[in-house]
Each structure stands twice: as structure tokens, then as C-alpha cells.
Structure 1
Amino acid sequence: MLEPIPEPMSQMPIDASGFARVALVNIAQEYPNKLDHVINSAIDVRTPRDLHPVFFGSYDWHSSVHMHWLLARLLRRYPSLPEADEITAVFDERFSSAHIAMEVAYLHQPSRSTFERTYGWAWLLKLQVELMALATSLPRARNWCDAVQPLADAFAERYLHFLPLAQFPIRAGTHANSAFGLLFAMEYAQATGHGVLHAQIRTSAHDWFAADASYPAGYEPGGDDFLSGGLIEAALMQRLLDAPAFSAWWQQFCPSSGTMQTWLEPVHASDRTDPKMSHLDGLNLSRAWCWTMLKNDLPSALQVPVTAAIRHHLAAALPHVVAGDYVGTHWLASFAMLALDQG
């Protein structure tokens, strides 16, 4: 394994080159492709690459975005990566002002208001935060940031329009999950000093989640979940509250001791060739990611079982990240990176 630059890392090794290779292959693969695309007229019957000159690969738009994020994160964390030159060449080609302008123009066409809401929105903002961080050590990344910024601006504006209208959260463990959508948007608001967006996120999170109590963890997981609705909510509230306030919130929120066990045991994907059932490998990774974020702020009685749960969830999922059916390998490595690298 490559040695990363010295920053806090998970103790489990990261297959940096393996992750980079699978991501590079995926973002160049146009088909099969699952479009989030409303056809307004015959002129809209076009190929993914025509519709999305940047994010056309990796099965769907949002997966392409988070595989680009993965490559940017790897480039920042492992600057001597053998694939570094290939990544920079791809980014130089993809992240052009002309290509991003076409992605922005797509958003402004009729019937596009719900395009990728809010999962894809969140990942695009997460990508921009990573490009900003990368630019501090790799000057050419500043060009990529500048090119992508209009698309980030467009999604930030969508959040500001959507959140005041959204009366109720979506708690499902899939793409529309509201807490996930707020978590990455909050990181963007903090990184860019976007005070208006940050204030709206705080308001929405408080309105939706502050009063939650005795979370029914036993209802999880759903058959195609890749997020724990409860754990991602807790991760969001941890980011928004100071330590004493989060401790009080967790005390009212935490599941009963019996149902908590549901969150501590990995799940098994019975058919990894099924695009929905294979989500359960992602659930194991996202649980490990959330538990790693939460662990230090949890009661002492949970430290040992949560530490074991992180290890067991990673062991269950990591063998399927870069090898297996495309329905899993087009996206799992990005969630593995979230779980393994908190830096």
C-alpha cells in the first residue's frame, strides 16, 4: 500500500491504487446508464455524454460525481499515487468552463427542478469542497475549482429554494434521505463561508430532527438501503450541536438496548448482481463511516461495541468494493473512502 501524506487516517489500510483504477474506469464508462432525465420533447432524446459532458459515466450522474470526488480525495491524500498523472489529465479535460456550463444549462431546462434532489446536490458540493482542499497543495486544482463553482452555486441556490418549502424530512435509507443531503451541504457552507445556506441548514435540521426520541432502529434496514436513516441523522446533529447539546440529544434519541443491536451487526447482500440488493454492501460501509464519526462523542458503554461494529462492517463490505458486479463497483469505493479516511 502507498504511504499517505501525514494526516489522521483510519488504522485499516486503503487500497489507494485499486480505488483510483476502479474510479477511472467507471467515470469513462457511459453504458449501462440510469438517467434521471425527464424528456420534454424529442430533442431531449440524447445520450448521457451529450446531456452531461462531465458526469456521464459510472452508471448514473450522482455516482459519477462521487467517483470524481474519490479521485480528488485520493490525489490530495496520496500525491505520489501512480495514477496521479492520469487523474490530473482527466480532470483537466472534464473540469472545463465549457463542460460545466453545459451541466448548469441542463439544470435550467424545464422539468429539472427535482433533478438529483438532494443526493446528487450534496455530492456535487462535497466534490467542490474536496477540490478546494486539493488546490491548497496542487495549484492546477484552482482551475478545476473555478470551473466547477458555477455548478456548486446552482445547487446551493436550489437548497435555499427547496429547504424552506420542505415541511417534512425523508428518512429512507436511500438517495433522497434528508439528513445526508444536509450533511454535505453543511460542509460546503462552512468551507465557503456561505452563512445564509448554513443558517437554513441549521433551521431545517432543528425542525426535522431536534425532537426525535427513542429512534426505532429495529425498523432498519430496508431491503435496498445504503444509509442508516438513524445514524446519518445522528452524524448530522453531531456536526450542528456542541458536545453537551449533542450528548443530551443522543440520550433522548438513542434506540433501546435491544434494537441498538441492529446497528451493530453487518448485513448480508444476498444478490450482488441486483442493483438494489447490492446497496446493502454500501449500508455496511456507511454505517462504519457514521459510527467512526460518532464514536468519540458517544457514552462510554458504547465505545467497545461500536469499535467492534466498525471493524466487522468494514470486513463484510471491503472485499466487494473493487471486484464484483458493476452494480456495486461503480460506487462502493467512494463510500469505502468515507469510512476509512476521515481526514
Structure 2
Amino acid sequence: MTPPSIAKPIERGGLVADNAPLLRVNNMSVDFGNRRKTFRAVDSVSFDLMRGQTLGIIGESGCGKTTLGRAVLQLLRPSAGQVLFRDSDLARLSGGELRGVRRHMQMIFQDPRSSLDPRWTVGDTLREPLAVHGIASGPAADRIVDEMLEAVGLTTAAGNRYPHEFSGGQLQRIAIARALIARPQLVVCDEPTASLDVSVQAQVVNLLSELQERFGLTYIFISHDLAIVRHLAHRVMVMYFGRVAEILASDDLARAARHPYTRTLLSAVRNPAMTDKRSFRSVDPMATDVPHLPILQPHSCYYETRCAYAEQRCGSSRPALETIEGQHRVSCHRWRDLAGEATV
């Protein structure tokens, strides 16, 4: 059987978002360490996410993508800022109130095998959220489990089997079923295709797209794969060393990207060898080393040491996250200079 293709982006017209954001993140930071030495993994990140839409988050390893996703769900407590879910400040909720909200906020992890209990059958795994949240039990729970297994493309017989009996792609379908069985509104997908073969990746991405439309889901989709993010997401947030470099519509990536780092990512997708540098004049933007964390200055642009467009103020002044047009925002002193240059 020919595997499905993700070359063509999904049709986004069928997803209707209301006027109020489901999720609003305001100046959120996450610190690790102690009083003597602290590392800021997420630095003053802000964004809104409308109901029924997908925000794709991309960036290099260690840029804070997963930390951001966990902090949104309060699996990690932010050091500063706000996370507003349905206009409720999650940091102000009591333990019981937060447990009630968790039914509506779920996560799909990168490695489904390690996220599933090998001692439980798939049916036991899927029934647990129904019991924890008081949704259903007994025959009613069994019916919901069967319906969810079928929704993710598995047979009801899968409920009687154990995780070790399934392939990686099937395990990710089970993990998706577990995340969705309580019918959440927001789902954080933390690189759910990273450990899968390319053909299986396509199947899982298409499944997530179908489930979003069927259940009216809102996604945060974290990935290294720009092609997948462009296919699935309505908007894309580019992160670099814990900061937001750019936020823009997925459809605008190829023609309207203004941050040099976003353009570097686009160039890398087109030409992994980075031999074509037309978008960056005669300078290879990846030729310099990644700056060591201890020498990063809080009042500078972190990308300055790798940027072909860097100038003196980039090393002494942190660029603000400016709004270009609509929801397009960029953190770069020289984005106006890039506006006239063609992207990839």
C-alpha cells in the first residue's frame, strides 16, 4: 500500500476559530538552577492560540521548545509570566482546580514506548483517564475505549494486547488515543513523529489533522521538521535559545520570513549542504559556532554571533518582538532591511 503523502498542506478553511484565544501566554519564563547559578530555558515568551488552530514551534535542540510545552501544561512551573487557559490563570489555581483543568489539556510525547506502562493492556491504559476524571466506568468506559481505538485507526482487539506487541507507529496511535480519550481542548504534541519512519510520520500527521477537524482540537505542535510543521500548523513560532525569533502564518513562511534565523532554517530545508547563500549574501549564517551559554548576554541578540546581518547594536541591545502586520511578529533590529530581499 502506498503511504500517504504530506507534500500538500492541509486545507485550513474548515477550521473555525472564535474570537477569544483558548490559550494566552504572557511573558512566560522558565528557569533552572539555584540562587548561585540559574539558566533561563524559556525567556519572556508571549503568544495567543485560537480555538481549533495549530501553533507549530520549531528551533534547534535545546532552544526551549519542550520546556515551553511542559510549562504551558504546568508540568513545569513557570518562573515568571502568565499562562491563561480559557481566561483562567493556571498559576493561581489550587491543586484540585488544576486537576480539573488537566482533563482539557493533554500531551502526546515523543517516545510512545516509554510513555506507556508495559504491564498494562492498551485497554487498561485508555480506561485510566476515564476513571481519573470521573467520565465513565464499566461497560460505558469499554465503549468509549473501542470508539477511540477505531478513531485512531486500530481495531478494538488492540485493547486486549500489551505495548510490546505493537510497532512504533501503532504505539503512537495508542498514545494519541490516550491523550484524546478525555476529549481535551488543547493538546501539546511534543515531536510525536521524531522516532518514526518517514512513511509512518506521514500517516500520523494526517491522522492528527483528521482528529483535529473531527474533535475541534487545538494543537501546539513541537518539531524539528519544518516540512511537517508547515503542513500541519496555521501559525509557526520560531525559537532560538529560549526566545521567540519570529511568529508568522505558515502560509507566509516561504515569502515573508523576516528573521535571519527563520531564513536559515528555510535554506537548510531546501539545501542541507548550505551551498546556496543567495538569501544571505556571501556569508554563511551557520559558519560561526553556537555561542556558549555562559557568555550569552541578557541585553543582546542571542543570534548575533551567527547572523550575516549583525551590526554593532545587535551585541548591546536586545531587539523587541515587534508586530509587522496582523499576527506577524519578529525580534530583529534589521527586519526592515530584509523586507526587500527574496526568501527561499
TM above 0.5? no
Task: Report the TM-score, using the length of structure 2 for normalisation.
Answer: 0.28
Q: Which has the higher strand share?
A: 2
More helix by share: 1
Q: TM-score, structure 1 length as denominator?
A: 0.28
